[in-house]
Amino acid sequence: MPLAPRASCRTPTCPGRAIYRGWCTSCAEAQNHGRTTRPSAHARGYTREWDAYSRTWLSRYPWCGQRLSGTSTENSRCAQAGLQVRATCTNHLVSPKDGGSFWDPRNHESLCRSCNTRHAIAHGLAFRNANPDSPRPTANTRRSPEGGGVESPDGWG
């Protein structure tokens, strides 16, 4: 009995066929699927204590862009647009991997998930963790089927 053709890759702009959990081979590698090069969240310091600290931080600074020193528009598109969006992440301004203090409140800010992801991509953190030997991508771009960068279609960048 013949097998059904493989589904398309989960990455919207990728023409590849799904091999691993809905991703094609190249997108799976970029997403760090099946690789053990990145330590676990617990090994990187994100423990129960961090979860409790983060919940407390977000209760004190509940809006995207808030820091110990006040609201900042540096990493928050929401604050830049004058929007008051509920924060869901406690972000490190300087990554502990790059020498930033893990527990110093002056190194933290509240961000919504969208702004936190944008910050990680802009600073090469998300991509670097997936493939440390690859060059950093430019912010606000995504891969096109032809392999080149395409400007962000959401109007933010």
Instruction: Give the tens place of pLDDT for each residue, 19-78.
Output: 777 778 777 777 665 554 667 888 889 999 999 999 999 999 999 999 999 999 999 999
| Bridge pairing between strands 141-143 and 149-151 | antiparallel
Sequential DSSP letters for 64-115: TTEETTEE--SS-HHHHTT---B--EEEESS-GGGT--SS-GGGEEEE-HHH
What residue segments make up the domains of the chain, in order of their start?
1-32, 48-127
Is the pTM here over 0.75, yes or no? no
Rg value, the chain, Cα: 18
- On the question of pLDDT at 124 being above 90, the answer is no
